[in-house]
A = this chain, B = another copy of it.
Amino acid sequence: MARIVECVPNFSEGRRKDVVNAVADAAREVQGVRILDVEMDASHNRAVLTFVGEPEPVQEAAFRVVAKAVELIDLNVHEGEHPRIGAADVVPFIPISEVTLEECVKLAHDLGRRINEELGVPIYFYAEAAMKEERRLLPKIRKGQFEALKEEMGVKAERDPDVGEAKIHPTAGATVVGARGPLIAYNVDLCTDDLDLAKSIAKRIRTSSGGFPAVQAAGFNLEERGMVQVSMNLLNFRETPIPRVFEAIREEAKAAGVPIERSEVVGLIPLDALLDSAEFYLQLHGFDRNQILERRLWE
């Protein structure tokens, strides 16, 4: 199977379809890149593009979509609910298959330098590509948005970009580039209407309150079904595999006498996350993924 990287750039345009199409087309032009999804949100006034392919063409496509966004989007006349600092706002690389997170960090760093050099947009690195610990998360970087950054860049040292002069691009602002693991939206439903139980389990497993690494979790009520849900984002399924959270939730719920009703994956999931789960539960030893019959056909 090929080496596959995913790129999910976010753009500050969710209303003008021709602009979003032009940005997506810039990726389509690159051979070996496949667009999986183009999402526009008018109230956020934001678009999210998802494309995949081998590392090199994906990196090239990422540069081209950023260039097109810089050309067509003017943040001075942009308004929407979603916080943003750039025409091309956030550009994450995600390892999908036979590519490491470290390789994606390198893709991000190289892309950031090229964007700055060729387009004059200052660059921040976030997530695994962050060069400063406080820039791992987006909210700090985007504080006050384009409008505040315009005033503060070049004035406050903590606003200095990771690449380029401390000088905002007059229309395209600044761009955040990074690398992260694939995000899996994963929910576990409990056979109870006890919302406090879902909330306390979520608290116990999520990173922010001392649980597993790379896990965001919250408890929700599923009123129609008379159940509650532990709703999660698994940010790195290799660091915290699905069975680890599933079994932890099962144990916590069991201690309260509550069984699990079911679990669900929302949206896309990398194949490896499911294969890892099968291997874990079946205690599979010495399994080589080339033993999967269909893999011979994908090659």
Contact surface of A with B, Cβ cutoff 8 Å: 1-2, 4, 6, 34, 36, 52, 96-97, 182, 242-243, 246, 260-265, 267-271, 274-275, 277-278, 281-287, 291-298
A171 CA to B298 CA, complexed, in Å = 39
**A269 touches which one: B96, B243, B293 (CB < 8 A)?**
B293
Listed from nearest, the 3 A-B pairs whose CB atoms lie closest are A262-B285, A281-B281, A277-B278
Question: What is the distance, in angstroms, from A1's C-beta to the closest C-beta of chain B?
Answer: 7
**Contacts of A271 on B, CB cut-off 8 Å?**
292-295
**A243 touches which one: B52, B270, B282, B287 (CB < 8 A)?**
B282
**Contacts of A4 on B, CB cut-off 8 Å?**
294, 297
**Contacts of A284 on B, CB cut-off 8 Å?**
262-265
Q: How many copies does the complex hold?
A: 2
Name which of A242, A270, A274 has the most chain B CB atoms within 10 A of its CB.
Answer: A274
A4 CA to B295 CA, complexed, in Å = 12
Taking CB as reference atom, which chain B residue is nearest A292? B271
Contact A294 B182 (CB under 8 A): no
Taking CB as reference atom, which chain B residue is nearest A267? B291
Question: What is the distance, in angstroms, from A27's C-beta to the closest C-beta of chain B?
Answer: 15
**Contacts of A262 on B, CB cut-off 8 Å?**
283-285
**Contacts of A293 on B, CB cut-off 8 Å?**
6, 36, 52, 96, 182, 268-271
Taking CB as reference atom, which chain B residue is nearest A283? B262
Query: Assuming A264-B285, A274-B292, what are 9 further A-B pairs, CB within 8 angstroms?
Result: A4-B294, A36-B293, A242-B282, A261-B283, A263-B282, A267-B291, A270-B292, A270-B294, A277-B277
15 A-B residue pairs with Cβ-Cβ distance under 8 Å, sorted by A, are A34-B297, A52-B293, A243-B281, A246-B282, A264-B287, A265-B284, A265-B291, A271-B295, A274-B274, A274-B275, A278-B278, A278-B281, A281-B281, A294-B298, A298-B298
A260 CA to B52 CA, complexed, in Å = 40
Name which of A2, A282, A286 has the most chain B CB atoms within 10 A of its CB.
Answer: A282
Question: What is the distance, in angstroms, from A279's C-beta to the closest C-beta of chain B?
Answer: 8
**A263 touches which one: B243, B285, B296 (CB < 8 A)?**
B285
A34 CA to B297 CA, complexed, in Å = 8
Contact B34 A96 (CB under 8 A): no
**Contacts of A278 on B, CB cut-off 8 Å?**
274-275, 277-278, 281
Contact B292 A263 (CB under 8 A): no
Contact B291 A268 (CB under 8 A): yes
**Contacts of A260 on B, CB cut-off 8 Å?**
283
A295 CA to B97 CA, complexed, in Å = 12
A263 CA to B293 CA, complexed, in Å = 19
**Contacts of A283 on B, CB cut-off 8 Å?**
260-263
Question: What is the distance, in angstroms, from A165's C-beta to the closest C-beta of chain B?
Answer: 38
Taking CB as reference atom, which chain B residue is nearest A299? B34
**Contacts of A295 on B, CB cut-off 8 Å?**
271
**Contacts of A275 on B, CB cut-off 8 Å?**
274, 278
